Amino acid sequence: MPMNPGEDSSAICGVPRHAAVGIGILRHSPWDALLVGLAVLHGALLLFVPSVPVVALGLWWNANTVSHNFIHLPFFCSHTANRIFSAFLSLLLGLPQSLWKARHLAHHCDQRFRWTPLRREWIAEGVLVILLWAGLAAFAPRFLLTVYLPGWLIGLALCELHGRLEHARGTVSHYGRFYNWLFFNDGFHVEHHARPGRHWTTLTDTREASESNVSRWPAVLRWMELAGLDGLEELVCRSQFLQRFVLHVHERALANVLSMIPRPRRVVIVGGGLFPRTALVLRKLIPEAKLTLVDARADRLERAKVWLKNEVECVNAFCTAANLSQLRSKADVVVVPLAFRGRTVEFYRNPPANHVLVHDWLWHRRGRSVVISWLLLKRLNLVNA
């Protein structure tokens, strides 16, 4: 059964209640003051610097941190304070917090959410949200249609993606420090489902996920684990729009990095890939250079030749940093793809050419580096021998 916003939801589904410690106005932990403060900051950002990213990312982040923790362990000793904060969250999220709570608790009980019977809290907070939307429609209709509504829909889509991928192969945990710092241990999802009444500060005490229930990716990025980079490449091959976008962002990044080094005469590109964007871009940027594409799969080289029209040398061979080192006197630049199957770290430790360009994840910055695309989560690192 859905519970009132002021009740301790940790008692549901046979889970024992979390002991209320009664720390001043806060019921469970003084650390909850940080979440309250960040909710206020979220509201300030919406008021003073509204934009589609602020609305979208704010909704996604809040729903999985402040709102989620408040659902399970309402922060305040006072039921009135909890109701007021629930109303405040309703305005921040653009949907009734108590309704969000009822849906989430049904998920924890492995039950289908039911809209009936309607509860007073849903109606009261629903009226607040309707007034918010009506006010925006009356006094800022352009802002509503071009900023708030698109951001709100994107935020809901991110929440839906986040929730689905947290349970795509059973409940899955992610133990990355940065994500769990930013999302207040939301990555400890197996542990949270085992004991929904545990406070977020104690979820790190034990790791209960088996090896098969741990992912290296945070939930919202776990589609990369499911689809794989090869699957994304196939999507690019089938879409002219994606091809133009990918070529544009890579051309900008490669042009930036090439300006940092002497103009190369020979470039070795590791991995032709299904869509040889690097070879296509370098053929345009340095037409006088000799380009060699080296890939362990002959079928991919044949596909690459269709794009490259036999203007690039193709070699069927398996590449490592070690066996490429013999090219030091022949290749000025070696380019390594993000999808390289092997130890990319060896290219950083022992560069096989005077200059090595390594496609890497956005958060792996090495040497001189430029961002390829925030959307693709990619950067290009320049390593000199």
The answer, yes or no, to whether the previous bond of 96 is cis (omega within 30 of 0) is: no
Task: Indicate whether 159 pLDDT > 80.
Answer: yes
Q: How far apart are CA 260 and CA 253, in angstroms?
A: 11
Give the bridge partners for 293, in sequence order.
269, 314
Q: Does domain 232-384 have CATH number 3.40.50.150?
A: yes
Query: Which one is predicted more confidently, 154 or 221?
Result: 154
pLDDT on residue 9:
45
**Which of the given ranges, 43-47, 111-115, 314-318, has the highest pLDDT on average?**
43-47
Using one digit for the tens of pLDDT, what is the confidence trace for 17-66? Answer: 444 444 579 999 999 999 999 999 999 999 999 999 999 999 999 999 99
pLDDT on residue 188:
94
Give the bridge partners for 381, in sequence order.
358, 369
pLDDT on residue 11:
42
pLDDT category at 202 given cuts 50, 70, 90 is very high
pLDDT category at 12 given cuts 50, 70, 90 is very low
pLDDT on residue 21:
47
Q: How far apart are CA 181 and CA 202, in angstroms?
A: 13
Contact 86, 98 (CB under 8 A): yes
- Every domain of the chain with CATH number 3.40.50.150 lies at 232-384
Quote the tokens at residue 315: 């070699």
pLDDT on residue 322:
64
- Summary mean pLDDT of the chain: 85
* Burial degree of 163 (CB within 10 A; 0-12, 13-18, 19+): middle
pLDDT on residue 347:
84
Using one digit for the tens of pLDDT, what is the confidence trace for 118-142? Answer: 788 889 999 999 999 999 999 999 9
- Please state the φ and ψ torsions of residue 336, each to the nearest 5 degrees: -115, 130
Contact 327, 352 (CB under 8 A): yes
Using one digit for the tens of pLDDT, what is the confidence trace for 265-292? Answer: 999 998 866 778 899 999 999 999 999 8
